[in-house]
Structure 1
Amino acid sequence: MPPRFTPARVRADRRYRTLDKYRFIVGFLILPLAFYAVFVISPFFQAIYYSFTDWAGGATANFVGFDNYVKMWNDEKFWSSVQTSLLLLVFVPVVTLALGIFFAYMITAGGRHRRGEAVSGVVGSSFYKVVYFFPQVLSIALIAVVWQQVYSSRSGLLNGLLGEVGLGSLEQRWLGGDYKLGLFATMAVIAWSFVGFYVVLFSAAMGAIPKDIYEAALLDGAGRGATFFRVTLPLIWDTVRTGWIYMGIQALDAFAVVLIMVPGHVLKVTPVYLYERFREGQFGYATAIGVVLLVLSMAFTLIVMRIGRRETIEY
Structure 2
Amino acid sequence: MYFIFAHPAIIYYSTVSYSDLANVNGKTSLIYLGISLLLWISVFGITFYLIYKSSFLTQKNIAYLLRYGKRVEAKIIEAKTAVLQNKKFAHKKLVLELKNFNRDTILHSLEINDSRPQENRYEEGNWITLIIDENFKKAPYITLDGIKTKVNYSLYFIWLFFLAAIISYYVYSYKTENFGYGWRFLSFEHPLIISPLVIFFIGFIFWLIFVKLMGKFSFRNKSSLELKFKGQKTIAKIISAEQTGTYINNQPQVKFELTYTDISGKIHHNSIKKIVSLMEIGNLQQKEKEIFYLIDDPNTIAFTDDLYEI
Q: Greater helix share, 1 or 2?
A: 1
Q: Fold match, TM over 0.5?
A: no
TM-score, normalization by structure 2 = 0.19
- The structure with the greater share of residues assigned to strand is 2
Higher RCO (C-alpha 8 Å, min separation 6): 1
